[in-house]
């Protein structure tokens, strides 16, 4: 039998999730936060997190944590960074690895988030969070911006059918800047990954705007060939 690393110190490893959603009602980018009902910092807002178990990878843990809060499977997840300041958690030395998740805000389990005392916050109105969680959120937005400018990441956040305006609004929220609709449409179309449907969405205007759907096949093709995506 192979000898173990006997003299090394073990530490607690946590996983925290920065969960992004795009609220189609008010067209705003939001993050899902929980009100802690346990010590320390009980009653304060926090990212959803948990400890890494011995039988799972970090991504497994993030998936489990995400599922326990939203009821969702198959969520877009990307590892961000490990945080390791000695006293970041006042209870005990804990390092935390963050993942950010992109979910369709309409699809999550409303009961579950109630049970977890969770709530969606506008990105632009993020409350003070426990520990180093605000730093984590800031790092996540930065990464989200980078990803969104490199890949058509936004699709994870929208329903299956969406309008060009919704897609543009989403990008504007992520990038935190206004975009020109003619240039935006042109650019998106040039990637040739959308399918224009015959249906219109009439909620947002009298004229109504055409719905689009994401062409998975063309998209996967592009991913393989490295995209030239750049917003």
Q: Which is nearer to DNA, 78 or 172 (CB)?
A: 172
Q: Is 85 near a second copy (CB under 8 A)?
A: yes
Taking the C-alpha atoms of residue 137 and residue 126, their distance in angstroms, rounded to an integer, is 9
Taking the C-alpha atoms of residue 70 and residue 223, their distance in angstroms, rounded to an integer, is 28
> Tokens representing 14?
């946590």
CB of 159 to DNA, least distance (A): 15
Sites for a second copy among residues 93-152 (CB under 8 A): 93-95, 97
Q: Is 53 near DNA (CB under 7 A)?
A: no
Write the binding mask 12 to 51 for a second copy: x where contact by CB under 8 A, - elsewhere: xx-------------------------xx----------x
Strand partners, 79: 99
Q: Is 192 near DNA (CB under 7 A)?
A: no
Taking the C-alpha atoms of residue 100 and residue 174, their distance in angstroms, rounded to an integer, is 14
Q: Which is nearer to a second copy, 57 or 190 (CB)?
A: 57
Which three-class secondary structure state does DSSP give residue 115?
Answer: helix
- Segment contacting a second copy by CB under 8 A, of 55-63, 68-76, 112-120, 214-222: 55-63
Angle in degrees, CA 172, 226, 159, rounded to 5? 40
> Tokens representing 29?
């980018």
Taking the C-alpha atoms of residue 192 and residue 194, their distance in angstroms, rounded to an integer, is 6
Give the HSE-up count for residue 98: Cα atoms under 13 Å, Cβ half-sphere: 21
β-bridge pairing 209-214 and 28-35: unpaired
Write the binding mask 198 to 217 for a second copy: x where contact by CB under 8 A, - elsewhere: --------------------
Name which of a second copy, DNA, none residue 51 binds, using a CB cut-off of 5 to 8 Å depending on partner kind. a second copy
Residues in contact with DNA by CB under 7 A are: 163-165, 180-183, 185-187, 200, 202, 204-210, 230
Residues in contact with a second copy by CB under 8 A are: 2-5, 8-13, 39-40, 51-59, 79, 81-82, 84-86, 90-95, 97
């Amino acid at each position: 039998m192979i000898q173990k690393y006997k003299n090394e110190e073990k530490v607690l490893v946590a996983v925290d999730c920065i969960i992004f959603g795009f609220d189609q009602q008010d067209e705003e980018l939001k993050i899902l936060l929980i009100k802690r009902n346990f010590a320390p910092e009980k009653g304060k807002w926090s990212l959803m997190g948990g400890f890494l178990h011995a039988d799972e990878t970090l991504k497994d843990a993030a998936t489990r944590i995400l599922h326990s809060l939203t009821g969702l499977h198959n969520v877009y997840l990307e590892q961000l960074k490990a945080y390791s300041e000695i006293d970041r958690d006042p209870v005990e030395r804990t390092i935390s690895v963050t993942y950010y998740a992109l979910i369709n805000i309409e699809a999550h389990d409303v009961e579950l988030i109630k049970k977890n005392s969770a709530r969606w916050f506008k990105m632009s109105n993020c409350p003070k969070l426990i520990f180093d969680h605000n730093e984590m959120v800031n790092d996540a937005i930065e990464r989200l911006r980078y990803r969104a400018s490199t890949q058509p990441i936004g699709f994870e956040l929208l329903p299956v059918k969406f309008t060009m305006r919704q897609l543009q609004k989403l990008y504007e929220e992520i990038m935190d800047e206004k975009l020109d609709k003619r240039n935006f449409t042109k650019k998106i179309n040039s990637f040739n990954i959308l399918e224009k449907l015959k249906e219109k969405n009439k909620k947002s205007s009298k004229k109504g705007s055409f719905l689009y759907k994401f062409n998975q096949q063309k998209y996967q093709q592009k991913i393989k060939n490295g995209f030239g995506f750049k917003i």
